[in-house]
Chains A and B, each alone.
Chain A
Amino acid sequence: MPTFNLKINNKTHTVDADMDTPLLWVLRDKIDLVGTKFGCGIGQCGACTVHVDGNAMRSCLLQVSQAEGMDITTIEGLSEDGDHPVQQAWKEVDVPQCGYCQAGQIMTASAFLENNPNPTESEIRNAMHGNICRCAAYNSIEEAVKVASKKITN
């Protein structure tokens, strides 16, 4: 089985995995970073969203062999103590119901706000459209992105 060196949350991890193993399962089953969630396996739900070189990407579609040399951030590495403005906004608004999709939502929102710190409502709705929340906490997610935007721009 080939070996890969992955830079995850500013730390290098060496893993043995089949070439086509999705980054998602390397994170979850080999490195014990289980914050990144499995929802659909085909890039449709966004539960597995991570940052790759600063962009939100579906870790279920990114093969481990493609991930070498990239700068990967998972929910566990988004901040030191859960104090990223998006995480704090999520807490203030009390977004989660079941909570399962929220890591993916937070990763999508944080990459989006990095590029567009002061978005319009319609830009927020478009940016978050790819992440499914089965509990339909969408009003709160939308609100939390607005709150995070204020935190970032102030």
Chain B
Amino acid sequence: MTPSKKMTFSRRAFLKSSALASGGMIIGFNLFNACKSDVKPSIDLSQLNYNDFNAFIKISPEGKVTIFSTNPEIGQNVKTSMPMIIAEELDVAWDDVYVKQAPLDTENFSGQVAGGSQSIRRSWQPLRETGATAKQMLVNAAAAKWGVDASECTVKEGIITNAKGETLGYGDVVSEAASLEVPEEVTLKDVKDFTIIGKGKGNVDIDRIITGKPLFGLDYKVPDMLYAAVLRPPAFGQVLDTYDASVAKSLPGVVDVITIGKKVREYQESGKRNWSMQISSSDKVVVIAKTTWDAFKGKKALKATWKTDSPLESTEKHDEILNGLLDGKKFNTRRKDGNVTKAFANADKIIERVYESPFLPHNTLEPMNFFANVTDEKVDLVGPVQTPEAAQSVVADLLGRDIETVFVDMTRMGGGFGRRLYGDFVYEAAEISDAIRKPIKMVSSREDDMTTGVYRPAIKYKIAASIKDGKLTGYHLKEAAVNSNMYGLIPNFFPAGAIENYQVDTVNYKSNITTGAWRAPYTNFLASAEQSFFDELAEELGVDRVQFHIDLLDNVKKNPDAKIQYSPERLQGVLKMVVEKSNWGKAKEGVYQGLSVYYCHNTHVAEVADITMENGVPNVKRVTCAIDCGIVVNPLGAMNQAKGGVLDGIGHTMYSDFGFSNGVPQSNNFNSYQLIRMGQTPKVDIHFIENDIDPTGLGEPTLPPVGAAVANAIYKATGKRLTKQPYMSNMNIEKKVLG
């Protein structure tokens, strides 16, 4: 794909430059509003300050370049990769770039969110244009100084050279550049000329991480800050009845014990809705103390009684309900091609399987925490949150403040995985500080974090296929989920378009357990179910597993459909690559291979798992993964994301389990809840398809396919089809720790 040489929108509306009082210039524009046609220009250069910019560059008279990273950093490495895109087009040496986290600025901008693997995809073009525009202005300034035409000048690593060979650094012309008109059109680099994009650049925070400098929300502190530990209901369905804080209050370090919850309840009862508001309506008891430990100890010393205000649910009941829904008729049809009923009626054979997945907590290693300082004038919020904008707006509503007086600063996050999309911990912190009017940090223990979470909901799929004359004629997928169903695009993922008679139906059960997005929502399990089913179908049809997929994808090419989300060519591309790189079909004796191909989050992935059996226990030895995510912006970060997704996927499909009994979560720490550890990890070989297509995300797409790759390999080794996760708990093998 050729890079655009023209702006995709009016420059003037969105791109601004300004001279800094200290000399130098800043340039930038709103990444995401820039894509909307209805945004009105708002240029008053005299009024500009750095807060007017979302993505932006600051260039000092010394030529040093600061690039502000706007999106929250949860480990997906956008703090490195997004500035790389600007630096590429700006044409500066990466070593001269300093990256700084930008604050939330909702007044002018939107889109400061980490979620859905969309940061890079959505910002690619605007970031390039920002860098290219700044570069053009600097070149124009140098050309004016020399009295030559700008087209005679070339740039390399921040040095502008004219036809005579004279040079000027960016710092030499930055003051003049800041006063120039913003060009209407700029030329973007050809992909082949990239010198930063596509080259591995290390994490910009690496020195701080390896030396233990303060970076994360839990590390943030201000003088006289107090710590708050929150006692929440032990079971979903319960609310606070009575409490006794007399012992807690007598403990050293404990400053106060209060209750919160009223503000949240008022918000909920007012009929206001915000999707990030996944939080119990109960009152909660808060111990405020001088250190975290004092607060934790105080919380342990509280005595509380709870009353039941809605049903106390259990895993057995969820199983019963979801199975009942799958067998029932209350479905919403989400996509329907042809006529599955007819295809099934005419079939020679019908294959039907039910796939089951449990609830899962996110378990970010940094537990939920947030800083709040509520004063009469303003509200300061600091900490790890994937959705700072929602946090700001809900807190303004909760506390009855003007949104302009609520400020959010984002810290680096000790993991997100979807958990920090929900702002319950921010609302608690704000309500606590509002009550005592002191700077506080709410800190959750691991037990709080695991038992009062926002979980991946349990989901079951029933998939049925009809076979007629040795061909696949119909495919009917039914989803029964807790609280919510697959989002709208998913019914148009593979195999939509590949099978003449195709139908996706969904139904859900409303539970009082808080649920939400978990890395690769829905597809994290759907891919396991479907790609296991296709393995079984290929066997049933007696066709080659790879050829079966290629043929199905050929069907899609013959029937163009604008709703189809994936590219059949790109899925075939990754499939062919993984077959080659994994030595598919040529495994050594004792090594069993399983294949899985999947598209989600705009990225195409194929994976092969190699397993061995040791004393009847499967051991994943290697995963080969082929990815088509377009241009790979930062191969180092991309490799980390891709490998992490694969291993995270193996861990949760193989080992992690989470259930409820009478509303009470059945695990509360890492002694009873298993996360994958090094001894259980295979080597992951990542291969990227090389092309010039605009990049798509990598935070999620390698996770969903791996479950089926492993299950299909285990089938080859044992003859047993695994349909229930976590697989290790459902294999009827002796419990044994691998390693």
Contact = CB atoms under 8 A, between A and B. Distances in A.
Interface of A: 1, 17-18, 21-22, 25, 28-30, 32-42, 44-45, 47, 74-76, 78-79, 82, 87, 90-91, 94-103, 106, 125-126, 128-142
The A interface is mostly helix, strand or loop, or mixed, namely: loop
Nearest to B253: A18
B651 A136 contact: yes
A79 B211 CA distance: 8
Interface stretch (B330-338, B482-490, B637-645): B637-645
B613 interface: no
Contacts of B367: 38-39
A45 B212 contact: no
Interface of B: 74-77, 200, 202-203, 205-207, 209-216, 218-219, 221, 227, 252-253, 290-294, 296-297, 363-367, 412-417, 443, 445-447, 636-637, 640-641, 643-644, 646-648, 651, 669-671, 675-679, 681, 683-684, 739
A103 B206 CA distance: 11
Contact of B252 (A18, A29, A131): A18
Most buried by A among B211, B367, B447: B211
Contacts of B677: 129-132, 138
Q: Can you list the 6 inter-chain pairs with the closest CB atoms, starting with the nearest? A: A35-B212, A98-B75, A100-B414, A75-B212, A136-B647, A44-B670
Contacts of B417: 134
8 contacts: A25-B293, A29-B291, A41-B669, A98-B75, A103-B212, A134-B648, A140-B640, A142-B678
Contacts of B363: 134
Given A25-B291, A35-B213, A136-B681, A94 B203 contact: yes
Given A82-B211, A101-B365, 20 more contacts: A18-B293, A22-B293, A28-B218, A28-B292, A32-B221, A36-B212, A38-B292, A40-B669, A76-B211, A87-B211, A96-B209, A98-B413, A132-B670, A134-B417, A136-B644, A138-B676, A138-B678, A138-B681, A139-B647, A140-B640
A131 B219 CA distance: 20
A84 to B, nearest CB: 9
A67 B603 CA distance: 51
Contacts of A137: 640, 643-644
A100 B293 contact: no
A102 B210 CA distance: 7
A135 B645 CA distance: 8
B424 to A, nearest CB: 19
A100 B366 contact: yes
A150 B206 CA distance: 21
A97 B77 CA distance: 7
Nearest to A25: B293
Nearest to A18: B252
Given A41-B445, A126-B739, A94 B670 contact: no
B365 A76 contact: no
Contact of B636 (A76, A94, A133): A94
B219 A96 contact: no
Nearest to B206: A91
A40 B446 contact: yes
Contacts of A37: 216, 218, 365-366, 414
Contact of B446 (A42, A97, A126): A42
B644 A97 contact: yes
B414 A99 contact: yes
A134 B675 contact: yes
A44 B415 contact: no
B20 to A, nearest CB: 31
B75 A99 contact: yes
A29 B446 CA distance: 18
Contacts of B292: 25, 28-29, 38
A93 B670 CA distance: 28
Given A97-B75, A98-B365, A137-B644, A33 B212 contact: yes
A125 B739 CA distance: 8
B212 A34 contact: yes
A91 B207 contact: yes
A98 B414 contact: yes
Given A40-B446, A129-B739, A100 B681 contact: no
A87 B210 contact: yes
Contacts of B77: 97
A29 to B, nearest CB: 4
Most buried by B among A18, A137, A139: A139
B681 A106 contact: no
Contacts of A75: 210-212
Contacts of B205: 96, 99
A125 B680 CA distance: 9
B446 A106 contact: no
Contact of B684 (A18, A30, A74, A139): A139
Given A18-B253, A35-B212, A82 B293 contact: no
B647 A91 contact: no
A98 B415 contact: yes
Given A29-B227, A97-B640, A135-B75, A91 B202 contact: yes
Contacts of B414: 37, 98-101
Given A18-B253, A99-B209, A139 B670 contact: no
B218 A44 contact: no
Contact of B415 (A28, A100, A131): A100
Contact of B679 (A79, A101, A125, A135): A125
B447 to A, nearest CB: 8
Contacts of A79: 211
Nearest to A103: B212
B647 A76 contact: no
Contacts of B210: 75, 82, 87, 90-91, 96, 102-103, 106
B361 to A, nearest CB: 11
A126 to B, nearest CB: 7
Nearest to B219: A34
Contact of B214 (A18, A29, A34, A142): A34
A48 B637 CA distance: 25
Most buried by A among B292, B636, B678: B678
Contacts of A140: 640, 643
A22 B74 CA distance: 28
Contacts of A134: 363-365, 415, 417, 648, 675
A86 B637 CA distance: 20
B227 to A, nearest CB: 7
